[in-house]
Amino acid sequence: MSIKANDYQMGFGDISAQRILEKYKNHPLMRIRREFSFELFRDRLEALYSNNGRPGFDPVKMLALLMLGKLQNMSDNRLEFDVCGHVIYRAFCGFTIDEDTPDHSTISRFRDRIQPAWDEIWASFCDWLEEHGGIKDSLAIVDSTAIQARTRFRKEKSDKDENGKTDYSGQTDPDARHGHKSAKKPFYGYKEHVAIDGDSDFIVAVETTGGEKFDGDMLPPLISKIPYLPAVVTGDKAYNSAKNRLFLWSQGVQDKTIPKVRSVGRPPKTHKQRKRIERVFSVIKEKFGFKRTRFIGLAKVAFEACLSAFAFNLVNLLTIRGSPV
């Protein structure tokens, strides 16, 4: 598939739309559009397409469309219909009034196409945030949150393997696992592991695992995924282990995770800052609908988590610039 040429001319409908957009210029989507341009990723997105085949939609507009769906907590089917008839949605994505918009199957295929290039896109986005004064390298805060699977666990399909462990291969979502939010709060699904910048609350790294994964084991991969090396890392007691302390020491990073044994004296300031990550999870779950996954399978759920992190950073950007949503 090739990229469709952008040969649209402004018509009377676009002139009328500009009047509407001027009236609603303080809409959160319009403010995000003024603060950040998806053109940053054009070169990388266009590299995903060939010069042969039937012309497709502009990949920059398609990426903005994915972000719109996450920001407004819409399914692909809902996104197909709403972007077609909503002036602000069209403007956010870059579609003119008379321009065709993609259907839900096209959106789904683009989601699959962009996943292999996501790490580069994410790194470029973090570089942009660092360059524009949002991200610092002084402190990283790590934590995880439970995400319910889209499907329920079917006991009639459950079995035990040769080691006596639950066999999930017969489940509708074979990648989902049982885990615990706490000793008395079990769940079935996934865990989203996140690292945020301690100065701005921007998400700088995301990893997704089955629900059974122990939080403390994810500190090294999270820190390794951050585009820069933080000076200090903090997290709750689950991250305080000899293995993690050795890893942070080898990287030249100061360990300020909360010790499992209460220390004498006042706790460091970083221990109090750790709770700020709870706001991040609250926005992702309540605003972006990520309490429960829309998709089945670890790869698709992990990408959904990445889109949620990107969407959170766009919303947080308005707060950093002094105009919270």
Q: Which domains does the chain possess? A: 2-117 (no CATH), 133-320 (3.30.420.10)
CB 257 within 8 A of CB 139: no
- Judge whether 212 and 298 are in contact, CB under 8 Å: no
pLDDT at residue 134 in the model: 79
CB count, 10 Å around CB of 177? 22
Residue with tokens 């990388």: 44
Q: How confident is the model at residue 271 (pLDDT cuts 50, 70, 90)?
A: confident
Top-confidence residue, 117 or 269 = 117
Which of 33, 34, 42 lies closest to 6, judged by CA? 42
* Residue 55 zone, left/alpha/beta (φ > 0; ψ -120 to 50; rest): beta
12 to 20, 25, 83, 91, 92: CA distances (angstroms): 13, 20, 19, 15, 19
pLDDT tens per residue, range 108-151: 999 999 999 999 999 999 999 988 867 888 899 999 999 999 99
Beta bridge mates, 140: 197, 233
Maximum average pLDDT range among 30-34, 180-184, 205-209:
205-209
Q: How is residue 250 written in tokens?
A: 């080898």
Strand-pair partners of 192: 145, 208
- What pLDDT is stored for residue 272 in this prediction? 76
